[in-house]
Chain A
Amino acid sequence: MATVATVDELIAAPVARAQVGLWQDAWRRLRRNRLALVSAGYLAVLAVIALVGIVYTPYPYAHEGVGLPYSGPGPGHLLGTDQAGRDIFSRIMIGAQISLIVGLATQAVVLTVGVPLGLMAGYFKGWIDTALSFVINVFYGIPDILVAMILIVIIGKPGLGTIIIAIAATRWMDMARLTRGQTLSLREREFVEASRSSGGRPAKILFGHLLPNALGPIIVQATLGIPAAILFEAFLSFLGLGVPPPTPSWGSMAADGIHAMRIAPHIVLAPAIGLSITLMAFNFLGDGLRDALDPRQRR
C-alpha cells in the first residue's frame, strides 16, 4: 500500500511546488537582511536581560550606597554607580523592562484602538469616516507633549499604566489613518465584492478579508511605533512626568546624571547609549520588515 501511489498523488506530483506561504516567504527575505537580523538579535538579548531583571539584579536597584557615589565602571559595578551610589547596571536592567513594556504595551493599545477604527472608517465611509478624520485631525493639531501631559494630569495616578495610555493617545492616529487608507483601497478589490456576493457579513469582510491584506503595513507601522513610544517615555521621564521614583527609567536615569555630566559622564551615557541602540535596533527591524513584507519585492 505504502509504495503504490494513488491516482490523485500521481496527478498532483508534477504540479506540486514547495508550499511557500506568504509568511514563510517574508521570513525568508527577512533572513537575508543582515542589519535586521543583528537588530533582532540585540532586541532578543535586551529582552532576556529585562526578563532576568525580574528575578535577579546584581544589586538591589533602589538601594542607595551599594557602592561609592559617582564611581566609574569597574569590576565591582559593571557600569559604575550614580550620584546616590546605586548600581547603574541593575538600574539599566529595570529600565529595559520599563522601556520594553512601554514600547510593546503602547503599540498594543494603538493596535486595538487604531486598527478597528481605521477598518470601519475605510469600509463604511460616510459619517463614521468623517467623524474619525475629524478626531484624528484634532489630535494631530495638539502637540503630543500637551496631549500626554493633560492625560497624565487628568488620570492623576502616576504609574506605568498612565504613561502607556498617555503615549498611546498621541500615537493611535497614525495607525488609524494607515489602516483607513489601506481599507479604502482594498474595499474596491474584487475579492471583497466576491465575499459580499457569497453573503459575507461586514465583520467577516473587515477582519477576515481586509485586515489580513493590510497586515503587512500594519506590522511595519507597529514595529516602527515601538521606538517612538520608548523615546517618548524616556522624554517624559526625563521631564519627571514618567514612572515615579525609585523605579528607574532610562529617561529619568539620564536626567539624574545630567548634573554630573562633567565629572561622571557614565551616568548619562549608560542609559543614553542603551536607549539609542535600542531605538536603532527597532528602526532597523521595522525597515527590514517593510522590505520583507512588501509584495512588490516578491521573488
Chain B
Amino acid sequence: MSAPILEVRDLHTQFFTDDGVVQAVNGVSFDLHEGESLGIVGESGCGKSMTALSIMGLVPEPGRVTAGQIRFRGEDLLRMRAEDVREMRGRDLAMIFQDPLSSLNPVLKNGFQIEEAILAHRDLPRRQAMERAIGLLRKVRVQAPEARARDYPFQLSGGMRQRTMIAMGLANDPAMLIADEPTTALDVTVQAQILELLRDLNRELNTAIIMITHNLGVVAGLCSRVIVMYAGQIVEEGSVDEIFERPQHPYTWSLLRSVPRIDALRHERLRSIEGLPPDLMSPPRGCRFHPRCPFRVDRCFSEEPPLEAFGEGRRAACWVTMETAYAEMGAADLVDVRPGAGSGVHGVTEKRVG
C-alpha cells in the first residue's frame, strides 16, 4: 500500500467549559492512505466529528487540540501557521457536512457558492470558474447543471443539495475528503445514490475519503477499512470484512447486533446497547466501556486496556476480546453479521461473563 497521506498521532482535543474539561478526543492515532476510504463509526458524542474537525483545524470554541500530531503529507498541520492551514482547507483537505441545507448559504445561488470555493484557491476569471462549477455539478450527476447553478439552495431537493456540497468539496481536487454523516439527513433511496456517487468519485478521482457515520450499513457499502470509536478513543480497527466477521471489541459487537435486519426472526427483539455513553468530563475508570459491557471482568473496572495490534491492520482495546468471550460462553463460531448475511449473532443467547 502507498504511503499514508494523513497520519494522526495521539490526538487530544479538549473542550474547556465552565463546568470542566471535556475530553472529546483522547489519544486517537490512525493513518489514511492515498485513495483509501476509511470509515469512522461510533455513537453520537463519541468524538468522531471532533476528530474530523481537529484535522480540518476547525474545532469550535471553547475547544482546542491540546496534544498530538496531524501530519498531512509529512507536515504537521498543528504546527503550521493558521493562514497556511486555511490555504490547505478546500485545496488539499475538504469536508462535507451532515445537513446540506444549512451548509449552503440560503441567500446565494448554488453556482456562485461552488464558484467561490474554486476562487478561494485559484486565480481564474469568473466565467471560467462558473464553467468549472457547472462541470463539477455534472460530475456529481446533477441533471441540467446550468439551470441548477442558477437556483437557490431552497429550490433543490435534499439529494441535489448534498451533491452540490460534494461539488463544492471537490472544487479544487482535494487529496482527501472528510464526509461527516453526509447521508443522515437524506431519505434512504437518496442515501444510496449519494453513497454510490462517493464510491465512484473515490475510485475515479482517487480522492481519499474519511466517512464519519453511525450507520454500519454505510460503512459496509463504501469503506475498505473501519475505525470504531467510543468515548473519544479508538476501540477497534480493521478491514470492513474483519470488523463485520470477527469483531473483537464488545462495543463493536454490540453495535453490529443493534443493526436492524430484514432477515431477523419475527420474535427477535432489536437489541440496543444498554446505558448511555459516558460523561466525557469524568470518564469511568478503567475501560471506558465497562459500565455497558456484557463481558466485563474485574480488570476492566480498574485498568484501561491499551489499543493493541494483532494481525494484519487489526487493533483492538479490550481485556476480553470477543474471541475469548465466545470461547468462555461456549458459543458457536463467530458469524457474519453484515446486513444481508445469512445468519447473525441475533441467535446467540446473551450471557454475562465475569
Q: Which residues of A contact B (CB under 8 A)?
A: 8-9, 11-12, 15-17, 19, 21-22, 125, 189-191, 193-201, 204, 208-209, 212-213, 215
Ordered by A's residue number, 25 sampled pairs between the chains whose C-beta atoms are within 8 Å are A8-B143, A8-B144, A9-B144, A11-B143, A11-B144, A12-B143, A17-B155, A19-B150, A19-B151, A22-B107, A189-B102, A190-B97, A191-B102, A191-B103, A194-B96, A195-B116, A197-B94, A197-B95, A198-B117, A199-B117, A199-B121, A208-B108, A209-B108, A212-B108, A213-B106
List the A side residues contacting B263 at CB < 8 Å. Answer: none
Q: Does B288 contact A (CB under 8 A)?
A: no
One of B70-78, B85-93, B302-310 at the interface: B85-93
CB distance from A254 to the nearest CB of B (A): 43
| Closest chain B residue to A126, Cβ basis | B61
- By secondary structure, the A interface counts as helix
The answer to whether residues A193 and B87 also contact, given A11-B144, A198-B117, A212-B107 and a CB cut-off of 8 A, is no
Asked whether, in the complex, the Cβ of B89 is within 8 Å of the Cβ of A197, the reply is: yes
Q: How far is the CA of A59 from the CA of B151 in the complex (A)?
A: 55
Asked whether, in the complex, the Cβ of B107 is within 8 Å of the Cβ of A204, the reply is: no
Among B102, B146, B151, B171, the residue within 8 A (CB) of A198 is B171
Q: Does B281 contact A (CB under 8 A)?
A: no
* Residue of B91, B94, B147 with most chain A CB atoms under a 10 A cut-off: B147
Q: How far is the CA of A167 from the CA of B97 in the complex (A)?
A: 46
Asked whether, in the complex, the Cβ of B102 is within 8 Å of the Cβ of A190, the reply is: yes
Among A12, A21, A193, A199, the residue within 8 A (CB) of B90 is A199
The answer to whether residues A197 and B56 also contact, given A16-B147, A17-B155, A191-B105 and a CB cut-off of 8 A, is yes
The 8 A-B pairs of least Cβ separation, nearest first, read A199-B90, A198-B90, A12-B144, A199-B89, A198-B117, A190-B102, A197-B95, A194-B103
List the B side residues contacting A125 at CB < 8 Å. Answer: 61
Asked whether, in the complex, the Cβ of B108 is within 8 Å of the Cβ of A196, the reply is: no
Q: Does B316 contact A (CB under 8 A)?
A: no
Q: How far is the CA of A36 from the CA of B88 in the complex (A)?
A: 49
| Closest chain A residue to B165, Cβ basis | A194
CB distance from A130 to the nearest CB of B (A): 15
Asked whether, in the complex, the Cβ of B105 is within 8 Å of the Cβ of A209, the reply is: yes
Among A8, A190, A198, the residue within 8 A (CB) of B168 is A198
Q: How far is the CA of A190 from the CA of B97 in the complex (A)?
A: 8
Among A12, A190, A199, the residue within 8 A (CB) of B120 is A199
CB distance from A264 to the nearest CB of B (A): 54
Q: How far is the CA of A213 from the CA of B99 in the complex (A)?
A: 18
Q: Does B58 contact A (CB under 8 A)?
A: yes
List the A side residues contacting B102 at CB < 8 Å. Answer: 189-191
Given contacts A8-B144, A198-B168, A201-B120, 14 further A-B contacts (CB under 8 A): A190-B97, A190-B103, A193-B97, A194-B103, A196-B89, A197-B58, A198-B120, A198-B171, A199-B86, A199-B89, A200-B116, A204-B120, A209-B105, A213-B105
Q: Does B232 contact A (CB under 8 A)?
A: no
Q: How far is the CA of A200 from the CA of B58 in the complex (A)?
A: 12
